[in-house]
Amino acid sequence: MKNVESVKLSPDATIRDALEIIDRGAMKIAVVVDEEGYLLGTITDGDIRRAILSGSNLDDTIEYIYFKSPTVIRPDTSRDAIINLCAINKIYQIPIVDETGRVIGIEILDRLLMPRQYPNKVILMVGGLGTRLRPLTENTPKPMLHVGGKPILHTIVERFASYGFTDIVMCVNYKSRMIKEYFGDGHRFGVHIEYVEEKERMGTAGALSLLPERPKDSFFVMNGDLLTSVNFEHMLEFHQANRATATMCVREYDFQVPFGVVNIEGAQIRSIVEKPVQRFFVNAGIYLLEPSCLDLVPKGQFYDMPTLFETLIEKDEKVVSFPLREYWLDIGRIEEYERANQEYDEVFDESEEK
């Protein structure tokens, strides 16, 4: 996700201005925005050449030549979806816009097609008992339950590896031998895997105090019972662009009150809202942390990730949310496990072919 500030233009900029930006940068594109940063369109060398052939000169404005209906993506669009959009539309750059339509970056096809390797560690919390999934978990740890013909944890490892995150630590506890025997050192999955053994269950953050060495870079922490198609590269870039100490992936959750809600003031009824829908953002169990966060995790104690975030907020650290709009499913109950198996092929087959 390339920084876009250097390639922004207003619609009253000249063709000469656009040429300077396009020739100066490696992105070979400029984005046209209004005064508040909302995307109006894009302009490329091809657009300029066609305009000149039609009689325009370099001091004319770009108002009538820039492309006003560009293909755009959101920050959480997956790598595979972006590549597909580029192929379908025969384009090599796609602006990234936020939920309001402001342009926040540009994705470049060549960059997506290049194999990348990131130094950032991935810490997977895979020691849970999975009591709500019994009897399925009586002999199998929850992350090793098969969805789509392979363990949930297998898919998680593949997803991180596909984005170039190959340095993985698994925090294990319940039936850890099964996990270690399946993954080994990770070489057959194209990753390197180490294990941290929790002698007692330590919560979603407590095991971080057991890491053999402190990460040098921002690092992911993720629960091992999730299936998601989130773009991990974009999440890292979002975290870094915000200079955050901690980033939490959040998911919008709708809840419909099954009754008419009565709003009262004293004894007087002011209004009645029939079965209103309440919307919340909920914790999606995927995090990015700076190494300094480890200073707040108590040694050898049960400690949950929400508690760590609350402490960071109290200390006035930069704590941000990354809205997740791609596929996400927390496999905590039998019905969610069954749903995951029904949806798996549609969501993940295409990405695993790349």
Q: What is the pLDDT of residues 106-128, one digit of tens each?
A: 888 877 776 678 999 999 998 76
Helix (H, G, I), strand (E, B) or coil at 16: helix
**The two structure tokens encoding residue 349:** 């087959």
pLDDT band at 129 (very low <50, low <70, confident <90, very high): low
d(CA 290, CA 247): 9
C-alpha distances out from residue 104 to 64, 73, 76, Å: 24, 10, 12
d(CA 184, CA 81): 31
Q: What is the pLDDT of residues 67-89, one digit of tens each?
A: 998 889 888 787 778 888 888 88
pLDDT at 352: 45
- Please identify, in words, the CATH class of the domain defined by 5-113: alpha beta
* Dihedral, 107, 112, 113, 116 alpha carbons, nearest 10: 140
How is the chain split into domains, by residue range? 5-113, 118-352
pLDDT at 13: 92
Q: What is the pLDDT of residues 181-209, one digit of tens each?
A: 899 898 888 899 999 888 877 888 888 98
Q: Which fold has domain 118-352?
A: Spore Coat Polysaccharide Biosynthesis Protein SpsA; Chain A (3.90.550)
pLDDT at 26: 63
Residue 218 has pLDDT above 70, yes or no: yes
pLDDT at 166: 93
Residue 262 has pLDDT above 80, yes or no: yes
Residue 319 has pLDDT above 70, yes or no: yes
